[in-house]
Amino acid sequence: MLSYRAVYLTKISLFVLLIIAGCKDDPPEETEQKSGRIEFTFQHFLNGQPLQFDTLRYVNEAGNKYMVNEIQYFISDVKLFGKKGIKLIDDWKDIHYVDTDIPDSRRWEVYDKITPDEYDSVSFTFGFAPDKNISFMYVNPPEKDMFWPEFLGGGYHYMKLNGKWLPAGQTSQTIPFDFHLGRGQVYYSYPDSITGFIDNQFNVSLPASGFTILADETVEIQITMNVENWFKDPHIYDHDIYGGYIMQNQEAMEMVKQNGHNVFTIQINKE
């Protein structure tokens, strides 16, 4: 019969052996996959040159002489289409606000780690998908100030492009215009009886937007808004017809939405 001391030593030996065996069975630690980064920058051109604000120097396809005072908008649901699959930019912040009066907003350092890959194209939603356009989700300016009135459908503006134009027959007296895009309305009788709402967001597939990203590499995706295209293709937009306020005019907002198909271009830069 084993003594108490012998039993105790046997138990200790078995415990040590189990620890050693467990250590041997542990798999080697996996090294973190190296990744790249992307950074979006935003610029605003008109007729191939940087947009100049607050100066009555531009003429659209309808012959309206106009100026631009400010542009504010949201993009969301950025997708990178790669050979290894689709990367959706959403791990940190999937909606970005751009404001021509706020320089910091024109640079978006994406938090997501980007898998090294050869990407064929880039796309994004101009505005918000309906399930993301939620009233009161922003509590601080400047995003908070993009609210869309509740009685007109709620949520937020997709874009505010504010300026002034010179009406036909005038030589000096300009009129402000609010070239705004957001939820449209279906009316039983205008302007009081609203029976439904129309989401006017649209998908932007950027031409010539393929790029390759390597581990530990940062790729800058420079997005340019070509402002003149909002007013000309496929619809010639006339401020004299649609006036200074289109938030309750779905016909006008539909034109804006359709004209947005070629507003954006892209340039890829690598650091």
Decide the pairing of beta strands 65-82 and 117-126.
Answer: antiparallel
Determine, yes or no, domain membership for 71: yes
Determine, yes or no, domain membership for 176: yes
| Residue scoring higher pLDDT (212 or 190) | 212
Determine, yes or no, domain membership for 8: no
The whole-number average pLDDT for the span 86-113 is: 89
DSSP element (H, E) containing 239: helix 239-242
pLDDT band of 191, cuts 50, 70, 90: low
pLDDT of residue 4: 45
Q: What percent of the chain has pLDDT over 70?
A: 86
Asked whether the predicted pLDDT for residue 238 surpasses 80, the reply is yes
Asked whether the predicted pLDDT for residue 30 surpasses 80, the reply is no
- 128: helix, coil or strand? coil
Q: Which of 79-83, 90-94, 201-205, 237-241 has the lowest mean pLDDT?
A: 90-94
pLDDT band of 19, cuts 50, 70, 90: very low
Q: Which of 9-18, 43-52, 113-122, 226-235 has the lowest mean pLDDT?
A: 9-18
Task: Please compute Rg for the chain using Cα positions.
Answer: 28
Distance CA 199, CA 182 (A): 7
Asked whether the predicted pLDDT for residue 119 surpasses 60, the reply is yes
Q: Could you say which DSSP state residue 245 is in? A: B
CA nearest neighbour of 59 among 51, 49, 50, 67: 67
Please count the structural domains in the chain: 1
Q: Could you say which DSSP state residue 235 is in? A: S
What is the domain range of residue 246?
A: 37-270
Determine, yes or no, domain membership for 161: yes
Query: How do the residues of the chain divide into helix, strand and coil, expressed in percent and rounded to 5?
Result: 20, 40, 40
pLDDT band of 91, cuts 50, 70, 90: low
Tokens 């505010």 appear where? 160
In 143-261 the beta strands, taken as DSSP E runs, fall at 159-166, 175-181, 184-189, 193-198, 202-205, 211-213, 218-226
Determine, yes or no, domain membership for 10: no
Asked whether the predicted pLDDT for residue 8 surpasses 60, the reply is no
Helices (H) and strands (E) in the chain, counts: 3, 16
| Residue 195: C-alpha distances to residues 30, 128, 180 (Å) | 57, 22, 21
Distance CA 39, CA 220 (A): 5
Amino acid, single-letter form, for residue 254: E
Determine, yes or no, domain membership for 111: yes
121-173 pLDDT, tens digit each: 999 999 999 999 999 999 999 999 999 999 999 999 999 999 999 999 888 89
Q: Is residue 163 within 8 Å of residue 67, measured between CB atoms?
A: yes
Determine, yes or no, domain membership for 9: no
Determine, yes or no, domain membership for 145: yes
Q: Which of 29-38, 83-92, 198-207 has the lowest mean pLDDT?
A: 29-38
